[in-house]
Structure 1
Amino acid sequence: MRLTARVEAHALTEPFVIARHVYTEANVLHVEIAARGAIGRGEAAGVDYLGDTPQTMLLQVQALAVEFEAGMLLDRACIAARLPRGGARNAVDCALWDLEAKLTGVPVAVRAGLAPLRPIETFVTLGMDTPAAMAAKAARWAPDFPCLKVKLGDALDLERLEAIRAAAPRARLIADANQGWTLDQLNVYAPRLSALGVELVEQPLPVGQDDALLDYRGEVPLCADESFDDRADLDRIVGRYAFCNIKLDKCGGLTEALALTEAARARGLRLMIGCMEGTSLGIAPGLLVAQDCEIVDLDCPIQLVTDIEHGFGYRDAILRPPAAALWG
């Protein structure tokens, strides 16, 4: 087996703003694993707030190349033992799933024991901007993308939501504060969030303040994102959040994500799947996890000037099972 990796930069159509950062391009790690004439591919953006960068992920993966060629790392269990959760393990794990599918001719969904993949509706994300600018984008997008995720995190948040709701009165709305609120703000905002039809609030408080959510008085369900990475975090968030946001970059790949889905449901948590920045290659494995999720946020390639070949296309909000030429 031969492992190669490289860093790729994909330009965004416009700056993408969240509470803690402004993105102008999607920087991802692209991994290929070759064996017996077949090539499996995986992609990861990593998790910046956990210390992942394209270069640190690249170094992690390159350190494995000699072991792959020597036949010392042959399966996904070996990778889970060698790499911590995060983007590097995600890219390698997904490349191995893809390679197995290409070598056997059996799709990943079948190998994972899943039912045939069905089309899934995704939310699309409005980055932080002025209320007027976000409302204008919502009005443009809602006819084709009727499920909108709104990035929030400062004093204008309710004004943003009011403007978006006026511009897109029939759209489904979820909100992501990216750790930008206090408990007092959350409780003050809660009645208006309900009145505006907001279905979910992601990560309202900073990481480490989850216990304060025991005093949350609102009706809108809360979802753990930055406070939650993999199965080791589940018991800590139960009772504080209704949902957990599964991301392959956070948990370390499709293998962990599938196990995480089952473990979260066993604890009574409802499921959301999200993504970091990247191309359709990074999104394709997530579609398998999305089959069991109530909220699906797999839209990042829509922000790219040019997606990868054989990508999802994003002509509408429906993600259809990927072509084998893309992944899986």
Structure 2
Amino acid sequence: MRLSWRPYTLELSHPFRIAHGTSHTRTAVLIELDGGLGEAAIVEYHGESLAAVEEYLKRAAEALADAPPTLQGRLALLPAGGSRAARAAVEMALFDLWGRELGQPLWRLFGLDPKQAPPTSFTIAIGEPADMARLARDSAMPILKLKVGDAGDLERLEAVRAARPDARIRVDANGGWTPARARELIPELVRLGVEFLEQPLPPAAREDYAGLRGLGLPIFADEPIKTLADLVAWAPYVDGVVVKLAKSGGLAPARTLMEAARSLGLEVMIGCMVETRLAVGAAAHLAPLADHADLDGPLLIKNDPFTGLGYAGARLLLPTNPGLGIVVGPL
């Protein structure tokens, strides 16, 4: 098998400010493996870098050079360790090839019903209250995910709620609050009708999450949920988890996490990084297994070269072409 790749700069529609910093662009690595496609998101706060992605891809190229013709045989050759985002990209390409060979989209081969995919939220990054309210109005999306993480959070939430009294609102602090700040703000989020809160405290503060439960708002963990061991360790402290292909290492590990979370009594949200329709489309094939979806990455960038995943407002239109079902245009 022949593996090739190239970095690709994603141009954001608006500055994307979260608790970890502000981005005007993001970097992805687009790969091709004998015609199968994949994408690795480079997110620094998840420990990813272009060097780490390329190092893994070089190892994968060598391991797959004389791979057997079966999906399971090829998956077994993927190198252990290293960049999870790169592993996810190679695994996407292998599943893409598998689906193309069988002439079916992955959701059908997985035995899933695309009509069961939950609607996606639309993310609004940290900004001035008036700007966030304007974006909320202009989006007309029924489910909003508001990024927070500094002193002006309550004013931002009040402004968005006033602008969109009809919207379902979720809040994501990306670990930017202290326990005291979280205890102060959670009752206000309940008053404003927020559905749930993602990652209020840093991953290292896991024990402090115990003091946030019972305050009337479901708490979801995101950043620390990468492996099955992470999931088991966090299950007593949260009400739900966010599963992403780039964190878990691909479709198969993500599905394992989703099913294990269910067995532990947790809600599941399938999420994404700032990614194109290629990586987000791959995740969308698992969306019917989730309670919630945050698969809006393509809606946040201006130069997505892919088609295949559609949006009817918040409703996900899963790819119908074989494999991932994603088609690339000119880069």
Q: How far off is 1:84 after superposition?
A: 4.3
Amino acid corresponding to residue 98 of structure 2 in structure 1: E
- Structure 2 CA distance, aligned partners of 1:182 and 1:214? 13
Who is 2:11 aligned against? 11
The answer to whether the 8 A contact 1:281-1:326 is kept is no
Who is 1:172 aligned against? 168
- Structure 1 CA distance, aligned partners of 2:252 and 2:122? 25
Task: Tell me the matched-pair count.
Answer: 320
The answer to whether the 8 A contact 1:47-1:86 is kept is no
- Structure 2 CA distance, aligned partners of 1:191 and 1:70? 58
With 176-185 and 44-53 compared, the bigger mean Cα shift is at 44-53
Q: How far off is 1:306 after superposition?
A: 2.3
Q: How far off is 1:26 after superposition?
A: 2.6
Who is 1:32 aligned against? 32
- Structure 2 CA distance, aligned partners of 1:102 and 1:326? 5
Output aligned runs, 1:88-167, within 5 Å. Answer: 88-112=86-110, 114-118=111-115, 120-142=118-140, 145-167=141-163
1:316 to 284, 294, 313: 313
Task: Tell whether 2:184 aligns with 1:185.
Answer: no
Q: Secondary structure at the match of 2:4?
A: strand
The answer to whether the 8 A contact 1:120-1:320 is kept is no
After superposition, the Cα gap between the structure-2 partners of 1:314 and 1:110, relative to the gap in structure 1 and judged at 3 Å, is: closer
Q: Deviations over 1:179-223 (max 9, x none)?
A: 111111111112111110101110000111111111124111000
Q: How far off is 1:65 after superposition?
A: 1.6
- Structure 1 CA distance, aligned partners of 2:156 and 2:172? 12
Q: How far off is 1:83 after superposition?
A: 4.1
Amino acid corresponding to residue 32 of structure 1 in structure 2: E
1:260 to 241, 257, 260: 257
- Same amino acid, percent of matched pairs: 36
Q: Secondary structure at the match of 2:289?
A: coil
Q: How far off is 1:28 after superposition?
A: 0.6
Amino acid corresponding to residue 97 of structure 1 in structure 2: F
The answer to whether the 8 A contact 2:67-2:77 is kept is no
Q: Which runs of no fewer than 5 residues in structure 2 stay unpaired?
A: 326-331
Q: Secondary structure at the match of 2:285?
A: helix
Task: Tell whether 2:194 aligns with 1:194.
Answer: no
- Structure 2 CA distance, aligned partners of 1:11 and 1:195? 36
Output aligned runs, 1:231-242, within 5 Å. Answer: 231-242=228-239
Q: How far off is 1:327 after superposition?
A: 2.1
- Structure 2 CA distance, aligned partners of 1:183 and 1:10? 34
TM-score (ref. length: structure 1): 0.92
Amino acid corresponding to residue 28 of structure 2 in structure 1: V
Q: Deviations over 1:3-56 (max 9, x none)?
A: 11111112112211111121112311111111xxxx111112044223212332
